[in-house]
Structures are given as structure tokens and as C-alpha cells.
Amino acid sequence: MSGQRRAAVGGPGEKTVERRKKRMIKNRESAARSRARKQAYTNELENKISRLEEENEQLRSYKWLPEDVR
């Protein structure tokens, strides 16, 4: 083989590419879990806001009732 080089199969470059792919997949999965947690937390807060607004409205109407009716 004068002057020709063989392609490195399974060389260090291939391992690096494989590790990068695995890391990208793990990162994508982690980001998806994070977005799901954030969405669940946001939904929980929105539900709490609704309950508190309803409670506030009830208390406001209670405030205006005559004392003998309370």
C-alpha cells in the first residue's frame, strides 16, 4: 500500500460521536421531563388561583350581609 491510508472503523472519533448522540438524547428527555413538571406546577397554581378568587368573592359577599344573618 503505497501512500494509501485505510479508514479507521470503530476509531476514537466514532466513540465521541456515539457519546454525543447519547448525551443529546438524555438531554432531550430531561428537558421534556422538566417541561412536564413546569406545566403541572403551572396548572396547580392556576387551580389555586381559581379557588382563592372564588373564596374571596364569597368572603366579599359575606361581608355585606347584615350581622343578624351571618
Residue pLDDT, tens place only, 13-34: 999 999 999 999 999 999 999 9
Number of compact structural domains in the chain: 1
Residue 6 lies in a domain: no
Determine the longest span between alpha carbons in the chain, in angstroms: 108
pTM higher than 0.75: no
How far apart CA 29 and CA 40 sit, in angstroms, is 17
pLDDT band at 54 (very low <50, low <70, confident <90, very high): very high
Q: Average pLDDT for residues 9-13, to the nearest whole number?
A: 68
1 assigned to some structural domain: no
Is 2 part of any domain?
A: no
When pLDDT is cut at 50, 70 and 90, the band that residue 12 belongs to is confident
Domain that residue 34 falls in: 14-70
